[in-house]
Structure 1
């Protein structure tokens, strides 16, 4: 994701991300697409259905996998990488997260600000 100056935005190691409203709608459509594809005639039909799902949303056909992972709850990049280690490399996960941020499918979770410490009074 880039900021207004065109520089890449970096997130901390503990930064969590969640689905946006747009992402929730995409996950619902993806789940429905997978259910319909199960009744189909094989991998070719599934790949075509993923292409039909991803094209209008400006996503890659593999992005459904990442969206479903964020649909479970708030996740850090390392949690997603660990959960998908059999499916995707860390580099692929990071690229997908950047793509999903650009498309507005996921959003960073705001870190709560701790209240200032009360001064100790000695009297």
Structure 2
């Protein structure tokens, strides 16, 4: 397989955070949400989300996923748990994470260094 089609797999405990590009996208999404609140309803909100997503090369629903990872290092399962009320499955969250990683909006957090074992004592 070539490197382009090879899928990188992350463990269940892998945490993700916003990249600088993702932080800018969330800021633009927040501004768009505030502007849409002053609008006339759901149709205007959906149109604003579509315009926001198209300007960044994202889907309209990707803003929801970016906001979930705004708080810092979160795993896919933590994001899925937070989005349960929106009726979003773990599969959809994983697909969104893969998509956002590819376009540079999310980045994986480096693994913490392993704990150093205490020195062994010989009595």
TM-score by structure 1 length? Answer: 0.89
Q: How far apart are the structure 1 equivalents of 2:72 and 2:52?
A: 22
Q: Deviations over 1:20-51 (max 9, x none)?
A: 00000000000000000000011111111011
What CA deviation, in whole Å up to 9, does each residue of 1:41-68 have, x standing for no partner? 1111111101110002111100000101
Structure 2 portions without partners, runs of 5+: none
1:53-105 CA distance string (max 9 Å, x none): 00021111000001011012210000000110121111111111111111110
Q: 1:69 maps to which residue?
A: 68
In structure 1, the residue matched to 2:89 is 89
1:121 deviates by 6.4
**Matches of residues 1-123 of structure 1 in structure 2 within 5 Å?**
4=3, 6-87=5-86, 88-114=88-114, 117=117, 120=120, 122=122
Is the partner of 1:86 in helix, strand or coil?
helix
Deviation at 1:11? 0.4
Secondary structure in structure 2 of the residue aligned to 1:107: strand
Q: Please give the root-mean-square deviation of Cα atoms over the aligned residues, in Å.
A: 1.8
**Partner secondary structure for residue 113 of structure 2:** coil
Q: Which structure 1 residue ranges, 5 or more long, are not aligned?
A: none
Measure the CA separation in 1 of the matches of 2:97 and 2:71: 15
TM-score by length of 2: 0.89
